[in-house]
Amino acid sequence: MSGDDLKRINWKASARANRLIVNETEAERTTDVMVVLDTDVTFFQSSEKELFERSVRAAASMSSLLLRQGNRVGLILQGEERGIVPPAFGKRQERRILYMLATAKPGRALISTSYVITLLARLMLPARAQLVIISPLLEPDITEGIRELVVAGYSVVVLSPLPMEPTGFQSEPEKLAYRITQLERANVLLSIMKMCTLIQWPPGVPLSKKLQEAKRLRPLLQV
């Protein structure tokens, strides 16, 4: 057609068709994804190590999966220690993310997770990008940050590893504190379910099974 660049002519196809044919290119459909790992697992000491390790494994697995699917993926560590890997493609990016995850440590966040994820998402991600937040949801204020991200047009998925229930309590006040914590967490779960995709991951269940059950994730996470 008039205006086509001569460099785009496919001469072999043109010879077979006995008419000029040009190559057309289409940009790859990729998604910018930021994986946010909340390392504040302050709960009951007997459960904290297992909860933290599962959270790290989930962040590593989901980052690797998303990168293999051709997405630009980054990582935010949020807790007592913080770190950022800006979104990028490929095997090198996977190594950067895994290296940061290997150095991660559990600890109570000094700055609100809600504030951190909202600020960094807007600084580092285009509109309508995807955030995968991996968190035990032990901080009630996190719901406000998720609400702001959803209102701003970001697609948000929350993966929440469920804490293991303590095998016993040393006192009645400790038992009461545990129940209050569980009630607060249940309220957080209800709020998040109304805003975005929420995946609850109990101990002993393969992560892949929970992802397959999340139908709204399938356009992005093809598991």
Residue 123 is predicted with a pLDDT of 81
Residue 18 is predicted with a pLDDT of 87
Model confidence over 182-191: pLDDT tens digits?
A: 888 889 899 9
SS3 labels along the chain = CCCCCHHHECHHHHHHHCCCCECCCCCCCCCEEEEEEECCCCCCHHHHHHHHHHHHHHHHHHHHHHHHCCCEEEEEEECCCCEEEEEECHHHHHHHHHHHHHCCCCCCCCCCHHHHHHHHHHHHCCCCCEEEEECCCCCCCHHHHHHHHHHCCCEEEEEEECCCCCCCCCCHHHHHHHHHHHHHHHHHHHHHHCCCEEEEECCCCCHHHHHHHCHHHCCCCCC
CATH numbers and ranges of domains, the chain: 30-217 (3.40.50.410)
Model confidence over 40-73: pLDDT tens digits?
A: 877 656 667 888 999 999 999 999 999 998 999 9
Q: Is the pLDDT of residue 25 over 80?
A: no
Q: Is the pLDDT of residue 164 over 80?
A: no
